[in-house]
Amino acid sequence: MLAAPALYSHPMADHDDLTTDSAPPWDEPPEAEHERDENTADIFGGAPAAAPVAAPAVVPMTSQASDPDAAYTVLARKYRPRTFEDLIGQEAMVRTLANAFSTGRIAHAFMLTGVRGVGKTTTARLLARALNYETDTVHQPSVDLTVEGRHCKAIIEGRHMDVLELDAASRTKVDEMRELLDGVRYAPVEARYKVYIIDEVHMLSTAAFNALLKTLEEPPPHAKFIFATTEIRKVPVTILSRTQRFDLRRVEPDVLVKHFGRIAANEGAKVEEDGLALIARAAEGSVRDGLSLLDQAIVQGERGAAVTAAVVRDMLGLADRGQTIALFENVMSGKPGDSLAGFRALWGFGADPAVVMLDLLDHCHGASVAKALGPDALTLPKEQAARLTAIGAQTSAGTLSRLWQMLLKAHDEVRRAPDAMAAAEMALIRLCYAADLPGPEEALKALRDGAPPNGLGGGGPGGGGGGSMGGGAQGGAVNAQARVMAAPAAQAAPTLASFEDVVRLIAEKRDIGLRLDVEQYVRPISFRPGAITYEAAPGAPGNLAGRLVRALKEWTGQPWLVAAEGGGGAESLLERQKREEREELASIRADPFVASVLDAFPGAEIVEVRKILTPEAPPIEPDELED
């Protein structure tokens, strides 16, 4: 009877008894759990049985999060620019935006265009941050984003309600565009502007563009539009005329090499500079593509070891540039055997035949540019630029143009052929034999002069055989006449054994302009019959080597190789002449008699030194001898 009041007492009146002396039937001590059948499930899905398993389940999740492989972020995302200063290669655009923001002349719509990976979407996000930038001290748009503003983090993470980033590829219909534009008239919730970022805007339909026109022409003051596209030609001009356009440039290879070098150093990886140059070249001006390739190249080497250029070349499937230049030289020299051997060596190293053809196209372009602008116009190492410049100097512009067309056709054939290697070899053979053929202008000139062009006719053995007797006799007479006419020309071909002989030949041919340029600007480095290497003096014309090659080929009848290098040349003829004059003048002043005369007449100067020639007797004419 004494326990009854305690049993029916109010819980709030005596809650200590409930917590200590009594316990609800579902709150049993842990010992009772061992009495449960493991094969049975309770009404709550076996939650009590899962409780002890939940504690150790946290351990593998923690270890996975600490695993660097699980939390790894690719370099293209990890090193995405956070400020306008981090954008590389876009200094002109950043300068224009900075001036516009500082003067308050901010456009209501921006159009960002460029190839993939140059930073269009990144620039759009930076613009959205700059438009809505706000701190405790800054309350206006600013391109200085070094200090993180109130809205910056939300915009970067893509969760800000006033910055809408859309993909036009998934919203091409006009109804979706109208639905989007219905919200433009409402003011922003938190930020200063409501920003619409539309990526790949060229994917919109014509009706969607038309629906956008009116809003884009007269937007509310709180709305800003930022468009990004890789196909600017597909955007209607009515849209372009209502936006402020920025063309993001391809990043130059030397800028990419420095950028990739800094990133590799930050990642603790070692990549050779030549390997970084290969990656920058393969990126084709795209920072994102280059970072993806760098990400792949870093894992190619062993831990702590440097990634070599050969490893990067194998990863990219590229051929050695020096070997492809040698292949190009063999093709231009008309050597099919050496060309096929060089190509098969590249094939053995894993080079793609289509890539080899692209390299030959690149070398043809480089030789043509060097011929027109000089070796400094090529963004190549000095030795490679000199080799391509030499090829361009000894080849006419018409030949290089025809070679370009043939290489374009060869590249297309290699890509479509069932056997790419066989197609590449046939293309090389065709190119080698085409190098020996005269161009249309040379063949026309030869026919006009009455001489057979190279490879046509000729007087080789058996050349007059076959056909009727009369025809054979006539052909033999023509060939004999051609040989007789060609014999004096062959005998009259000058033999040049030194650089002075070249200058003497130019004087004999009375080419005054070429003679003056050669004497003034050519500092000879090396000379051998058929090849001249020189250092160009300051102010030398860019086409001097080409003019000298054409003149020597015309006068001697054989091809010449004339190349200009950076340094190491001797004096030019004009410099040597002036030096000799100075030395002669100094020796004359040192003469005791001349020195006494100069002392006797203060202010006197030696103006000119002349050599008095002894008059020679005139030659006796044959008629005088007979008399």
pLDDT, tens only, 576-599: 888 888 888 888 888 888 888 888
Would the pLDDT of 319 be above 90? no
As a whole-number percent, the residues of the chain with pLDDT over 90 amount to: 11
Would the pLDDT of 606 be above 60? yes
Q: How far, in Å, CA of 84 to CA of 125, rounded?
A: 10
**Residue pair 455/436 in contact by the 8 Å Cβ criterion:** yes
Q: Which pLDDT belongs to residue 622? A: 57
252 strand-pairing partners: none
Banded pLDDT at 624 (limits 50, 70, 90): low
Banded pLDDT at 228 (limits 50, 70, 90): very high
Helical residues (DSSP H) of 317-352, grouped into ranges: 321-332, 336-348
Say which residues have a Cβ less than 8 Å from residue 602's Cβ, sequence separation at least 6.
none
Confirm whether pTM is higher than 0.85. no
Q: Which residue has the tokens 């007269």?
A: 218
Q: Which pLDDT belongs to residue 66? A: 41
Q: Which pLDDT belongs to residue 42? A: 46
Report the CATH number of the 77-247 domain. 3.40.50.300
Q: How far, in Å, CA of 517 to CA of 540, rounded?
A: 7
Would the pLDDT of 408 be above 50? yes
Long-range contacts (CB closer than 8 Å, 24 or more residues apart) made by 533-539: 533/562, 533/563, 533/564, 533/565, 534/562, 534/563, 534/564, 534/565, 534/569, 535/564, 535/565, 535/566, 535/567, 535/568, 535/569, 536/564, 537/572, 537/575
Q: Which pLDDT belongs to residue 225? A: 93
Q: Which pLDDT belongs to residue 487? A: 43
Q: How far, in Å, CA of 483 to CA of 544, rounded?
A: 35
Q: Compare 173 and 129 and report the one with higher pLDDT.
A: 129
**Residue pair 175/147 in contact by the 8 Å Cβ criterion:** no
Q: Compare 247 and 574 and report the one with higher pLDDT.
A: 247
Would the pLDDT of 54 be above 60? no
Report DSSP letters for 175-206, one per residue: HHHHHHHHTTTSPPSSSSSEEEEEESGGGS-H
Banded pLDDT at 350 (limits 50, 70, 90): confident
| Domain pair 253-316 / 499-570, same fold | no
* The CATH classification of domain 499-570, taken from the options 1.20.120, 3.30.460, 3.40.1350, 3.30.300: 3.30.300
Averaged over 332-344, what is the pLDDT?
A: 88
Q: Which residue has the tokens 């196209």?
A: 361
Q: What is the 3-state secondary structure (H, E, C) of 386-426?
A: HHHHHHHHCCCHHHHHHHHHHHHHHHHHHHHCCCHHHHHHH
Q: Encode burial over 17-28: b for 16+ CB neighbours within 10 A, e otherwise.
A: eeeeeeeeeeee
Q: Which pLDDT belongs to residue 413? A: 92
pLDDT, tens only, 551-582: 888 888 788 888 887 666 778 888 888 888 88
Would the pLDDT of 227 be above 80? yes
Would the pLDDT of 19 be above 60? no
pLDDT, tens only, 505-541: 888 888 788 888 888 888 888 888 888 888 888 888 8
The separation between CA 255 and the C-alpha centre of its own chain, rounded to angstroms, equals 10
pLDDT, tens only, 34-47: 444 454 444 444 44
111 strand-pairing partners: 227, 245
As a whole-number percent, the residues of the chain with pLDDT over 70 amount to: 75
Q: Which pLDDT belongs to residue 616? A: 60
Banded pLDDT at 612 (limits 50, 70, 90): low
Say which residues have a Cβ less than 8 Å from residue 187's Cβ, sequence separation at least 6.
194, 222
* Nearest of 508, 509, 564, 500 to residue 537 by alpha carbon: 564
Domain parsing of the chain, residue ranges = 77-247, 253-316, 321-370+382-443, 499-570
Q: How far, in Å, CA of 327 to CA of 424, rounded?
A: 12
pLDDT, tens only, 139-165: 888 888 888 888 888 888 888 899 988
pLDDT, tens only, 195-218: 999 998 998 888 888 888 888 888
532 φ, ψ (degrees, to nearest 5): -135, 130
Secondary-structure class of domain 253-316 per CATH: mainly alpha
Secondary-structure class of domain 321-370+382-443 per CATH: mainly alpha
**Residue pair 315/272 in contact by the 8 Å Cβ criterion:** no
